[in-house]
C-alpha cells in the first residue's frame, strides 16, 4: 500500500473502464463522480483548467507532480463555477504560499462539489491513457470495492450521450464593452459571440482587441445573430462531441460567406463541419500549455495552449489544388506518402489549399508538430478562419494572442490579415 495512505483522511478510489484502479485520498467533495478521463500537462494554471467550461463531463488528471501550491483567487476564474466532473493529482498542496492566494484548492473543490483524489501515480495513469486511449472512469469515496466500481464505470454513459454545451452556455444574451486603448484610438467593432462554453480569457482577448461583444446562447439561430448587425461573429470553445451538435454546425454554415467569422476549438470544429469536413476523435486528445504548432504562412512555431479530444480530418474537405499547394510534384508526393500526418507540409513550409464545393478554397494554416494534426484553416474566398488551439493563454503561453488582432483585421477588410509578426507588430 502507498505509505501516504496511512495518514488520517477520507479514502478514495479511482477506477478506469479497462479495469485499472488506484487507491488514494479525498481532497475535494466526498461522494462519487463519473466522467471521461483526460490528462493535462500544464505546469501551472490549474484553476483556469478546473473552471474551463470545455472540461464539462471530464475527469482531469494533472501530470505536474504537485497541484495547489499557489492557492486560488477570483481573478483566475474562467467561468462562474467548475464544470468538470473530477480532479486527479499526485500531491495536493493544502498550505499554499502566494500573495494572490485567497484560499486553498481542496477547499475550492469541496465548496463546488467537485470530487478529487490525490496520492495517485499520475505518471502510470498518463501512460495507461496514452496506451489505451481516452476512457470512462470514476472517483468514489463511498464505493471502495474495485470490482464494483469498475463494473459501474463500464455501465456509465459516454460523454457523447449528453449535450454538455447546453449545460455550460449562457442562458440569456449579455454585452461586454471593448477596452479603450488611449495610446491607439480606433473604431470599436461589434462582434456577436455564440457561447458554447466561452472562457473569460477569450472574452478578454476579444474586448482587448477593441471589440464590443454581444454574447448569445449556443442554440441562437443564424438569422437572429445576423439581426444584431455585427461586424463579425465569433464561435466559441466548448465541451463534448462536436459530431453530436448539429445546431451550431448548421448555424456556422448559414453564417459563412455572409459575415466575417472566427472560431476557436469547438468553434473551429463547427466551421469545419459546415464546410463538409469529417471530425475524428483523437486517441487521447491535446490538453496542456506546451503544444508546438507551426504557422505555415510564416514558418514560425507557436507554443500553444490546447484542450480538445476531437479534430478536423483535413483530407475530408476535398481535393488539393496543386497550383496553390506547391505544384503537381509535391501533391503527388503527398498522395504517395499515403499519410494523414500534416508535418509533410510543415517540413516543406507549404500551406496547402483544398477546393470545396460549398465555400471555395480553404487553406491549411497551422499544424501540430507533435503529431501532425491540423490546427488552423483559412477560407480564401469568404472572410473566415479558425484554429483548434487557444490563443488567450488562460492558462498557457502568449504566442498566439495575435489571432484576436487578426480577427479585427479580417473585419476591417485587410487582405493579409493573418500576416502578423507578434514580435515586432509588423507584416511578414
Could you tell me the maximum CA-CA distance found in the chain, to the nearest angstrom? 69
**Domains along the chain?**
3-161 (3.50.30.20), 165-411 (3.40.50.880)
Task: Check pLDDT > 60 for residue 366.
Answer: yes
175-200: average pLDDT: 91
Task: Check pLDDT > 80 for residue 423.
Answer: no
Q: Would you state the pLDDT for residue 425?
A: 45
Contact between 163 and 240 under an 8 Å Cβ cutoff? The reply is yes
Active site residue 392: yes
Residue 310, marked binder? yes
Q: Residue 359: which pLDDT band, with cuts at 50, 70 and 90?
A: very high
Task: Check pLDDT > 80 for residue 2.
Answer: no
Active site residue 119: no
Residue of 214, 286, 366, 390 with catalytic role: 390
Q: Would you state the pLDDT for residue 161?
A: 93
Active site residue 161: no
Task: Check pLDDT > 60 for residue 31.
Answer: yes
Report the chain's C-alpha Rg in angstroms.
22
361-379: average pLDDT: 98
Residue of 198, 253, 392, 405 with catalytic role: 392
Q: Would you state the pLDDT for residue 272?
A: 97
Give every CB contact of residue 341 below 8 A, 6+ residues apart in sequence.
371, 372
What is the reported pTM? Answer: 0.95
How far apart are the C-alpha atoms of 136 and 20, rounded to whole Å?
11
374's torsion region: left (phi>0), alpha (psi -120 to 50) or beta? Answer: beta
As a dihedral over the C-alpha atoms of residue 138, residue 139, residue 143, residue 147, rounded to 10 degrees, the angle is 50
Q: Would you state the pLDDT for residue 403?
A: 96
Residue 325, marked binder? no
Q: Would you state the pLDDT for residue 422?
A: 65
Residue of 265, 272, 286, 405 with catalytic role: 265
252-308 per-position pLDDT tens digit: 999 999 999 999 999 999 999 999 999 999 999 999 999 999 999 999 999 999 999
Contact between 384 and 262 under an 8 Å Cβ cutoff? The reply is yes
Q: Could you tell me the three cell numbers for 34?
A: 463519473
Residue 236, marked binder? no
Residue 307, marked binder? yes
380-399: average pLDDT: 95
Residue 269, marked binder? yes
How far apart are the C-alpha atoms of 64 and 74, rounded to whole Å?
22
Give every CB contact of residue 149 below 8 A, 6+ residues apart in sequence.
13, 15, 21, 138, 140, 143
Q: Would you state the pLDDT for residue 186?
A: 86
Amino acid at each position: 500500500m502507498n505509505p501516504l495512505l496511512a495518514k488520517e483522511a477520507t479514502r478514495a478510489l479511482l477506477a478506469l473502464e479497462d479495469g485499472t484502479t488506484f487507491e488514494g485520498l479525498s481532497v475535494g467533495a466526498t461522494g462519487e463522480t463519473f466522467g471521461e478521463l483526460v490528462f493535462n500537462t500544464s505546469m501551472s494554471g490549474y484553476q483556469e483548467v478546473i473552471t474551463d467550461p470545455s472540461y464539462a463531463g471530464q475527469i482531469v488528471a494533472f501530470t505536474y507532480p504537485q497541484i495547489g501550491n499557489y492557492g486560488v483567487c477570483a481573478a483566475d476564474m474562467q467561468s462562474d463555477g467548475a464544470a468538470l466532473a473530477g480532479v486527479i493529482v499526485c500531491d495536493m498542496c493544502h498550505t499554499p504560499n502566494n500573495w494572490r492566494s485567497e484560499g486553498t484548492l481542496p477547499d475550492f473543490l469541496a465548496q463546488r462539489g467537485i470530487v478529487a483524489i490525490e496520492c495517485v501515480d499520475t505518471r502510470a495513469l498518463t501512460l495507461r491513457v496514452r496506451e489505451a486511449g481516452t476512457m470512462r472512469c470514476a472517483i468514489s469515496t463511498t464505493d471502495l470495492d474495485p470490482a464494483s466500481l469498475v463494473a459501474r464505470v463500464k455501465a456509465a454513459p459516454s460523454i457523447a450521450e449528453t449535450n454538455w454545451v447546453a449545460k455550460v452556455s449562457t442562458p440569456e444574451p449579455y454585452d461586454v464593452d471593448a477596452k479603450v486603448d488611449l495610446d491607439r484610438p480606433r473604431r470599436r467593432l461589434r462582434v456577436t459571440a455564440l457561447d458554447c462554453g466561452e472562457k473569460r480569457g477569450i472574452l478578454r482577448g476579444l474586448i482587448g482587441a477593441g471589440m464590443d461583444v454581444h454574447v448569445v446562447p449556443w442554440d441562437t439561430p443564424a438569422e437572429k445573430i445576423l439581426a444584431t448587425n455585427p461586424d463579425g461573429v465569433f464561435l466559441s470553445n466548448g465541451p463534448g462531441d462536436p459530431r453530436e451538435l448539429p445546431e451550431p454546425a448548421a448555424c456556422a454554415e448559414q453564417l459563412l460567406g455572409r459575415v466575417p467569422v472566427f472560431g476557436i476549438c469547438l468553434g473551429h470544429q463547427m466551421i469545419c463541419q459546415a464546410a463538409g469536413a469529417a471530425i475524428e476523435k483523437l486517441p487521447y486528445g491535446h490538453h496542456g500549455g506546451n503544444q508546438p504548432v507551426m504557422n505555415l504562412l510564416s514558418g514560425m512555431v507557436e507554443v500553444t495552449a490546447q484542450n480538445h479530444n476531437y479534430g478536423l480530418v483535413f483530407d475530408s474537405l476535398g481535393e488539393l489544388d496543386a497550383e496553390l499547394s506547391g505544384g503537381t510534384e509535391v501533391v503527388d508526393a503527398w498522395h504517395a506518402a499515403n499519410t494523414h500526418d500534416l508535418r509533410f507540409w510543415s517540413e516543406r513550409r507549404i500551406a496547402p489549399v483544398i477546393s470545396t464545393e460549398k465555400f471555395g478554397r480553404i487553406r491549411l494554416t497551422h499544424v501540430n508538430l507533435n503529431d501532425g494534426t491540423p490546427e488552423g484553416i483559412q477560407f480564401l474566398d469568404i472572410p473566415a478562419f479558425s484554429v483548434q488551439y487557444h490563443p488567450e493563454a488562460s492558462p498557457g503561453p502568449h504566442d498566439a494572442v495575435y489571432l484576436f488582432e487578426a480577427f479585427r483585421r479580417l473585419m476591417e477588410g485587410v487582405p493579409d490579415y493573418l500576416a502578423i509578426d507578434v514580435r515586432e507588430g509588423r507584416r511578414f
